[in-house]
Structure 1
Amino acid sequence: MTPQSEGIQPDNDANGQAVISLDTLSKRIQDEMIALVMLAAEVQIALGPALTEAKSLSPAVQRSLQALDRLHQTLDDLQRVLGHLAMQSGTAPVPIKPLDEVIRLRHLAHKLFDNIDAPFALSEEDSGDVAWF
């Protein structure tokens, strides 16, 4: 789905390519990262009761839990950086097509470039490949 198919007219550069301002893109990425920070926190909270009942945890499980905590903290820091960039960047245009081609999750591309304000939900056709952990 392109911005035009959603009825949203993107800005175009001198070559007619769709572009988005860097501050707008940074803010949208920050919004998505905030949602990921909340999801990581929810996973940590959900694991809490199970971990309290566990007699012992293997070193591999302990490392995985530490990695989850690091993921949470890193996403939180990155979203703050993007928030700062969104306020500093001004209106430098960023070509959409090269970014759209590297994003695997179609719902994310729509939220970033088409300004669709939808909750985090995936359908089978736009979710990309399943990555089991």
Structure 2
Amino acid sequence: MECWGVQALVGDQLRWDVESTCSACGFAEAVCGGAGAMPAERRAQMLAEHGAAWLQVDPPSARSVTIMRVLRAELGIDLIEARATLHRVLDGDCSGTLPEMEHLARALRRAGISAAATRR
């Protein structure tokens, strides 16, 4: 079986799709996941194939309360998780797929925080 997958930012939404084809019988299937979280197995495959990206914030503009507010809104996490994620962001240790990190960077920039998704 051959599989292809993509995750992309479309407007302000993360979207993902997966297609697979059986090389023996030719059966093909497409799963359009739409907006929202990609299944963990597919996300792991994307990270393994393309590598991780990191969220970088510019320290002078890094206002913790604003960053936590954005993280809570965009990731749907509680205050405790937002605080832990904030520390990873400020330490330069917040990573994921490139579209995921760019999605967060855009949300942070809209909130006045200088942010970028980068590859190492």
TM-score (norm. length: structure 1): 0.23
Name whichever structure is richer in helix by fraction: 1
* More contact order relative to length (CA 8 Å, sep ≥ 6): 1
Task: Tell me which protein shows more strand as a share of its residues.
Answer: 2
